[in-house]
Structure 1
Amino acid sequence: MNIYLILVALISLSAAFAYINHRFIKMPFVIGLFFLSTILSLVILSERWWDSGRYLETRAYLAQIELSNVILDVMLGFLLFAGSLHTRWTDIRLQLRPITFFAVLGVVFSTLLIGGAIFWVSGLLDAQIDLLHCFIFGALISPTDPIAVLGILTKANVSKKVESTIVGESLFNDGIGVVIFVALFETLKLGNDHIDFGHFGVLFLQEAVGGMLFGLALGYALHYLLKSIDNYETEVLLTIAFVMSGYALSNYFHLSGALAMVVMGLLVGNYKREASMSDRTQEYVHKFWELIDVILNAVLFISIGFVLVFIDFTTAHILIGLLAVLVVLIARVIVIWIPALTFKRLIQFTNNETKIIIWGGLRGGLSIALVLSLPAGEAKDMLVIATYFCVVFSILLQGLTVGKLAKRLSEK
């Protein structure tokens, strides 16, 4: 199956599932797509027992998609730029302190907490995962995904403060999570059985600080080019070119492409926007990137549902997966609630707002892509299952209940 046919299949499934969901099921958009793709995956998985030949053939076709490469090398840059382009800096700035705390320190502490807990749990189950892989799991599962929850929160009439915090946290913690993951992954590839904190620190600074500075440079350059002309067709093409080339260059120079796209999107979407783009251009640019956002998220959530086809379950794996869900939830409570109680001047949220932020921290496609990029081995197999369990729980249970929780708490 060539790339074009794979794309045809993904887009066609996305359209079909979107129609079925909107017409009959009426779940929130991406949650409905993920639910239907999971059902289809279970049907394919059942072929193991009644048509193993067809199952192996289907699995081979799906393997050609190389989901981790598609998400990390192509989709992530577009999704982060689109998300940050539509984010108002004035809203983010008002909540900059809690966003910075949750997206930076929160991800770091979450990585340590989850990594340590999974190391302990896997040892108890006599399925020991080495400490470095455990911290890698902590890094890849800590970033949150706002796509599935924002529409729900808007309908639930949550405060702008909560919505802005969830958006800002997810935009930046994706980048921070990827940076920590890359630094730990590079340590793993060096073959070390322990973490070289000096090497880790250098990689972190290079990726994070370098990525943000590169994003600023790209943003100012794109702003200048957009300001120098008034032709919406050319200006839309410029935004596409800067996202594609900027993300590719970031990866080439070992900078965080995720953070670069977030910073570039925020700058282009907010810095003297009226001076750089006419009203007509702004309309076309924003509508184009809204459409890209919808299409790519549809494809993303369809794709991650198919990860189930590649999982070979054992009792120990299932137990680790279930316990990983509990560990991730506890870590989320710790990194959000304790700072909110301890630093009330810095993080000014009510108890109800804190509960919504905790439960609204969904995991999504980025976590799946990162875990699939790990080298083959027993540790990867266990972490894939743990990640998938966390994502399924997050999207289907938290995603479907966070709106009700927000409405109930807002009425108090």
Structure 2
Amino acid sequence: MEFLQIASLLIVLAGVFGAINYLFFKLPSSIGILVVALLASLAILLLELLLPQTSMAETVQTVVRSVDFSDALLEGMLGLLLFAGALHVKLDDLRAQWLPVFLMATIGVGLSTLVVGVGFSWITGMPLMIALVFGALISPTDPVAVLGVLKEAALPKSLETKIAGESLFNDGVGYVVYLVLVGLAFGTTGHGEATHDGGGLADAAKLFVVEAGGGALLGLVLGYLTFRVMRRIDDYSLEVLITLGLAFGGYELAVALHVSAPIMAVCAGLLIGEVGAKHGMSEETRKYVDAFWKLIDEILNAVLFLMIGFEIFLVVFDTTTVLAGLAAVALALIARLVAVSVPLLVLRPFSDDDVPGVIPIMTWGGLKGGISVALALALPESEWKTVILTATYLVVIFSIIVQGLTVKRLAMRVGREPELM
């Protein structure tokens, strides 16, 4: 299928499934679209089982394979989603929570990778280095999914900032850790290039610094240059177009320069959302930019969750992979608890920001999303790729549906601010 045909099909299905969810299921928008897509996929598989002559499942599988989910997300959608998310996080709020956000997005990702990797290697017999790659790809969380279902939970601002900030940055850090570990496990850099013999941990550390630091620097430089241009312009349609160019062009430039494109998108979005909005835009432009990126955010998430629902046709389900997937669900929750609780408990004696229920809410609210599936699909071919892909898919589906539909209830029970008398 041609690109325009694929894009048209995805938009049409997202709209149809969104309407079905709104009229009948009434679930949060993105989760509802995922549920409807999964039900449609299972219905097609059941129909194929009952009427094998229809070959419907094979046809759908062919269409799904024609959409490179990994490229579509990692080379396009992810930059827009992270830029949009960062655009709406205020630097003043983030500055107040920078230390817990920093520790959870760095040390937390490392602890999560280690817990999942060691546990998954022990359970499945997978080589430790490959299991650590799985730990890295399953560690990032999806800020949009959880914040969308927590809107009505009346959480303290500091907790919302922790959730949003940590999720934005752990996507970028998790991606860099994934690239480093792929290089160590499979002998490639993660950009498809072979590593040099004897590089080992020194090359891996260098890659991490270059990817993460280079991505942050590029995002700040491009964001600042864009801000300087926007200060000289007072045309809301052109300024919206400029921000879109920054998100698209900056992401592709980061990919070309082999620095972290997700971290670039977050840093550029934070700078434009704070400095650019205050000093480079008129009130009218701010309203249009804000509305435009909120709409982009909603549309892309609808399409992303739709695609996740149909990726079931590329997953192999047998006793071995399903049992490994169920074990991975438990490991992912344990790892998330460790990743959240260790930094927060270390900081507790030095902080007066004692928000009720922060550890259980952030643990259960650490929803996994499309980036984990995309990274699993992008792995080099090996005997363990099928196990990793199935385990990743089951973790993501459990996370989005089970955790996503219950985290609001948990938050309202243990994390709401007390009502004033």
Give TM-score scaled by structure 2 length.
0.93
Structure 2 residue aligned with 1:210: 214
Match of 1:323 in 2: 327
State the match for 2:362 in structure 1. Answer: 357
SS in 1 for 2:349: coil
AA aligned opposite 2:111: F
Mean alpha-carbon deviation: is it higher for 292-301 or for 154-163?
A: 154-163
Equivalent residue number for residue 131 of structure 1: 128
Cα distance in structure 1, aligned partners of 2:381 and 2:45:
21
Equivalent position SS for 1:214: helix
Q: Hey, what does 1:396 align to over in structure 2?
A: 401
Question: 2:359 is aligned with what amino acid?
Answer: T
* Of 87, 90, 93, the match for 2:89: 87
Deviates more, 1:44-53 or 1:163-172: 44-53
Cα deviation, residue 383, structure 1: 0.5
Q: Which residue of 2 aligns with 1:176?
A: 173
Measured against aligned partners, the alpha-carbon deviations of 1:273-329 in whole angstroms (never above 9, x if no partner) come to 332011111111111111111110000000011111111211011100000000010
Give the letter aligned to residue 397 of structure 1: V
Number of the residue aligned with 1:150: 147
Q: CA deviation at 1:40?
A: 1.3
Amino acid at match of 1:280: E
CA distance in 1, matches of 2:164, 2:346: 23
In the alignment, which residue of structure 1 is the partner of 2:182?
185
Amino acid at match of 1:180: V
Match for residue 226 of structure 1? 230
8 A Cα contact 2:100 2:343, kept in partner? no
CA distance in 2, matches of 1:3, 1:234: 26
Q: 1:342 to 1:195 in 2, by over 3 A?
A: farther
**Structure 1 residues 345, 7: closer, same or farther in 2, change over 3 A?**
same
C-alpha contact 2:108 2:343 (8 A) present in aligned 1: no
The answer to whether 1:201 aligns with 2:198 is no
Deviates more, 1:371-380 or 1:13-22: 371-380
Pair 1:161 & 2:158 matched:
yes
How much has 1:189 moved relative to structure 2? 4.1
What does the per-residue CA deviation read over 1:248-283, in whole Å, with 9 as the maximum and x for residues that have no partner? 110011000100010000001101533201111111
- 1:389 is aligned with what amino acid? L
1:198 positional shift: 1.0
On the 8 A contact 2:97/2:161 being kept in 1, the answer is: yes
CA contact (8 A) 2:105 2:166 kept: yes
The question of 1:367 aligning with 2:368 is answered: no
User: How far apart are the structure 2 equivalents of 1:55 and 1:410?
Assistant: 44
CA distance in 1, matches of 2:257, 2:186: 18
Secondary structure of the 1:375 match is coil
Q: Percent same amino acid at aligned positions?
A: 41
Structure 2 distance, partners of 1:312, 1:179, is 27
Mapped to 2, the partners of 1:341 and 1:268 lie a distance apart of 33
Partner Cα distance (1:346, 1:101) in 2: 14
1:227-242 to 2 correspondences below 5 Å: 227-242=231-246
Q: Residue 17 of structure 1 contacts residue 33 of structure 1 at CA under 8 Å; is this kept in 2?
A: yes
State which of 379, 385, 403 in structure 2 corresponds to 1:380: 385
Structure 1 pair 45/11, CA: closer, same or farther in 2 (3 Å)?
same
In the alignment, structure 1 residue 284 sits paired with structure 2 residue 288:
yes
Three-state SS of the structure 1 residue aligned to 2:305 is helix
Q: Secondary structure at the match of 2:33?
A: helix
Partner deviation per Cα, 1:70-125 (whole Å, 9 max, x = no partner): 000000000000110111111111111110010111001111111111000102xx
What RMSD, in angstroms, separates the aligned Cα atoms of the two structures? 1.8
- Name stretches of at least 5 consecutive residues in structure 2 with no aligned partner: 189-194
Q: Match of 1:3?
A: 3
In 2, the alpha carbon distance for the partners of 1:285 and 1:351 equals: 34
Match of 2:16 in 1: 16
Cα deviation code 1:351-378 (max 9, x no counterpart): 5222111111100011111101112333
Q: Which amino acid aligns with 1:211?
A: G
- Amino acid across the alignment from 2:142: D
Q: In the aligned structure 2, how far is the partner of 1:76 from the partner of 1:281?
A: 24
Amino acid at match of 1:132: M
Distance 1:195 1:174, change over 3 A: farther
Q: Aligned in 2, Cα 1:389/1:279: closer, same or farther, shift over 3 Å?
A: same
Matched with 2:103 is: 101
Cα deviation, residue 43, structure 1: 1.8
Structural mapping, 1:10-49, within 5 Å? 10-49=10-49
The residue aligned with 1:126 is none
Task: Check whether the contact 1:340–1:349 (CA below 8 A) recurs between aligned residues.
Answer: no
- Deviation string 1:326-366 (CA, Å, 9 cap, x unpaired) is 00101111121233333313564445222111111100011
Following TM superposition, by how much is the alpha carbon of 1:48 offset from its aligned partner in structure 2, in angstroms? 4.5
Q: Distance in 1 between matches of 2:336 and 2:185?
A: 26
The answer as to whether partners of 1:42 and 1:309 remain within 8 angstroms in 2 is: no
Q: How far, CA to CA, are the matches of 2:296 and 2:151 in structure 1?
A: 21
Whichever residue aligns with residue 72 of structure 2, its letter is V
* TM-score, L = length of structure 1: 0.95
Query: Which shows bigger deviation, 379-388 or 306-315?
Result: 306-315
Separation in 1, partners of 2:136, 2:198: 16
